[in-house]
């Protein structure tokens, strides 16, 4: 009984060990090692493509932060939106329009903050 249990445990963990060089089905194709896969895990993905994807994410994040910053936390979210937009533009994002909108919204956040500070005389503000 114990022998069957240990044999079953060994058989169930064997596929998790990774491909062996002797197994042609599981072995990596010629010229490609398992460590040469890109950030997404797909063969052929380069670091430049991963960097572009990161820049696209920064462009979207700057847009969202700038938009939310118009309503709340504009002292914090405005500069974050500006910084992410500038980084995305420097990395040549494919979402250039979104990065420019994030930059404009970040500047608008700071403009709204400046207007409210001059109107109220304090950095804290409320709608009511």
With a cut of 70, say whether residue 27 has pLDDT above it: no
The confidence score (pLDDT) of residue 124 equals 65
- Contact by Cβ (8 Å): 97, 80: no
Question: The tokens of 84 are what?
Answer: 């992410």
Percent of the chain having pLDDT more than 90?
33
Residue 20, CB-side half-sphere exposure with 13 Å CA sphere = 5
Q: Could you read off the pLDDT of 35-72 as tens digits, one per residue?
A: 444 445 555 568 877 777 888 889 999 999 999 999 88
The confidence score (pLDDT) of residue 41 equals 53
81-119 burial by CB neighbour count: b if 16+ within 10 A, else e?
bbbbbbbbbebebebeebbbbbbbbbbbbbebbeebeee
Q: Which residue has the tokens 């990774």?
A: 18
pTM over 0.85? The answer is no
């Amino acid at each position: 009984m114990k022998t069957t249990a240990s044999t079953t445990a060994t058989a169930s963990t064997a596929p998790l060990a990774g491909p062996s060089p002797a197994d042609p089905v599981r072995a990596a194709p010629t010229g490609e090692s398992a460590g040469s896969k890109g950030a997404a895990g797909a063969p052929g993905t380069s670091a430049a493509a991963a960097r572009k994807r990161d820049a696209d994410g920064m462009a979207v994040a700057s847009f969202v932060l700038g938009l939310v910053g118009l309503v709340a936390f504009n002292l914090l979210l405005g500069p974050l939106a500006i910084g992410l937009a500038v980084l995305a533009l420097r990395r040549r994002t494919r979402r250039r329009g979104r990065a420019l909108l994030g930059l404009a919204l970040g500047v608008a956040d700071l403009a709204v903050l400046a207007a409210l500070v001059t109107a109220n005389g304090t950095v804290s503000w409320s709608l009511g």
